[in-house]
Amino acid sequence: MLSTLAEIEVRRQAVANSVERNHKSALGQFMTPMSIAQFMAHLLPVPDKGPIRVLDPGAGIGSLSSAFLSRVLAAGRAAADCEVVAYELDEALHSELRQSLESFTDVTYEIIGGDFISHAVDELFLSRHHFTCAVLNPPYKKINSKSDQRGLLRSTGIETVNLYSGFVALALAMLKPGGHLVAIIPRSFCNGPYYRPFRDMMLSEAAIWHIHIFEKRNTAFNGDEVLQENVILHLEKHGTQGEVTVSSSMDASFSDLSSRLWPFSDLVRENNPERFIHIPVTGKASEIGLPSFATHPLDALGVGVSTGPVVDFRLKAHLRKESGEGSVPLLYPAHFVNYGTCWPKANFKKNNAIASNSETRKGLFPNGYYAIVRRFSAKEERRRVRANVLTPEDTAGAETIGFENHLNVFHCKKHSLEPAVAFGLVAYLNSTAVDTYFRSFNGHTQVNATDLRQLTYPNLATLKNLGEWLMGCSTCSQEAIDKKIRKLEWTPLFIPPTHSKSWNY
């Protein structure tokens, strides 16, 4: 069957090259390379007896179904025991899909066009949960909150914001108890409030057995130039959760594949109400946790973090290129360089100031010391969390200042932090330990205030120690910050208290 799979891969590449990118983006679907399809197929167990009913939503030309059928036949099961139900919205692919499935003689198959969500909801209302396995590369596209698709998903109790998570939820629902699902999907479901209902559903309905990550963002679908962090996820419906295999490879060749088992509690922390899913990004257990002295939730320190309130396109009439009478400094991500601030910015495409008046004043902060984290990192930027400090002198001692919406601002009840606390937060947030931990559950370029609240932090004494150290540095490097963090790991002064206390200053 290897020659059959090789032929399917040649046809996949030809089809992928012939379809315009705009068409692919409109459907949110990019076809699965055969190397990935075979890896996914080998995650699905082959039952010793009984019928094998395969669900393939968003089937494309059938690479995933074909890879699994090849595995089933290689395991000695009869083709006559196999049935494939393949959904594909793009009817232009149906002839290629049919050709792939017909290459497996005696396998029963059905190709269904139209919208998978609509068909699946009808099946579920008829209580048809009859598939033994599902293998899918679902479309990646946002669902409008008022769309028919969103309403259909809600009718089955599924609340989600993207087609890919909707497809996975429906496919899981259509499995028999004990059925297995393998999907290649973006990592964005692992964190953030919008995917919380999907995480709740998935974790209550299935056990996670395997997660595979690609070390580079643009390698899973490199032929289609897709820049997205993807994972391969293996679930068992109503399975009893045990240890989880986490594997990784640099790219879709899997030539450097490595894996290890992790306790489920390391991936989904009991004390995290958001139920973020942490995917270890290295093979060392010590490298996916925050420093041992960082045990305090942010609000216990009297510190808050908020998204910058100035949404510039809504306040166009009040924006100013330069600061002057009646205006105050406006800070964008580009104003923050290294660990500090560069304001005003010459020849800046955006604006350096905003008018201070009755319409803007409620969104301004008093000048002071703040820790700033950009909400978006560049697509291939090495670090996800990048923190900077803002001091009153950075904005020429202005009375008030504005923070643009692409910034996260650490503050004390919308007022200035203590200087050492602001600098301490910047040192801590810029440590490799925090960035590595953050990337274990955040698979996209966005850093939300919600994500930053999910981190735990050092107590105030430790933050001030870090801040005073950073304030005393004439120049500071990543190596120096990490060395300072490691030193605090064994400094007795900073062992966390055993009792709960709300820190105020």
Q: Which domains does the chain have, with CATH numbers?
A: 2-287 (3.40.50.150), 296-494 (3.90.220.20)
Model confidence band, residue 53 (pLDDT cutoffs 50, 70, 90): very high
Say which range, 377-386, 403-412, 478-487, has the weakest mean pLDDT: 377-386
pLDDT at residue number 217: 55
Rounded Cα–Cα distance for residues 471 and 465 (Å): 10
- Does 497 have pLDDT greater than 50? no
Strand ranges in 3-153 using DSSP code E only, listed in sequence order: 52-57, 82-87, 108-112, 131-136
**What are the beta bridge partners of residue 341?**
336
Rounded to whole angstroms, what are the CA distances from 142 to 25, 117, 122, 150, 445? 11, 14, 22, 10, 16
pLDDT at residue number 273: 82
pLDDT at residue number 442: 67
pLDDT at residue number 378: 59
Alpha-helix residue ranges (DSSP H) falling in 233-341: 264-267
Rounded Cα–Cα distance for residues 20 and 448 (Å): 33
Looking at per-residue pLDDT, the higher value among 380 and 492 belongs to 380
Q: Measured at the alpha carbon of residue 304, what is the angle toward residues 298 and 308, in degrees to the nearest 5?
A: 135
pLDDT at residue number 360: 95
Looking at per-residue pLDDT, the higher value among 372 and 27 belongs to 372
* φ, ψ for residue 433, nearest 5 deg: -60, -45
pLDDT at residue number 498: 36
Find the mean pLDDT for residues 61-83.
95
pLDDT at residue number 224: 47
Q: pLDDT tens-digit profile of 344-354?
A: 999 999 999 99
- Average pLDDT over the chain, rounded to whole? 87
pLDDT at residue number 495: 36
Q: Position 338: which residue type?
A: N
Alpha carbon 253 to its chain's center: 23
Q: Position 20: which residue type?
A: E
Length of the chain: 505
Pull the structure tokens for residue 133.
């396995």
Q: pLDDT tens-digit profile of 463-495?
A: 999 999 999 988 889 999 999 998 886 544 333
Q: pLDDT tens-digit profile of 311-348?
A: 999 999 999 999 899 999 999 999 998 777 899 999 99
Find the mean pLDDT for residues 426-445.
83
Say which range, 83-87, 288-292, 366-370, 426-430, has the weakest mean pLDDT: 288-292
Q: Residues 389, 442: contact at Cβ < 8 Å? A: no
Q: pLDDT tens-digit profile of 217-262?
A: 555 555 444 446 899 999 999 999 999 999 988 888 898 888 889 9
pLDDT at residue number 389: 95
Q: Position 325: which residue type?
A: E
Question: In three state form, how does the secondary structure of 360-415 look?
Answer: CHHHEEECCEEEEEECECCCCCCCCCCEEEECHHHHCCCCEEEEECCEEEEEECCE
Q: Residues 328, 364: contact at Cβ < 8 Å? A: yes
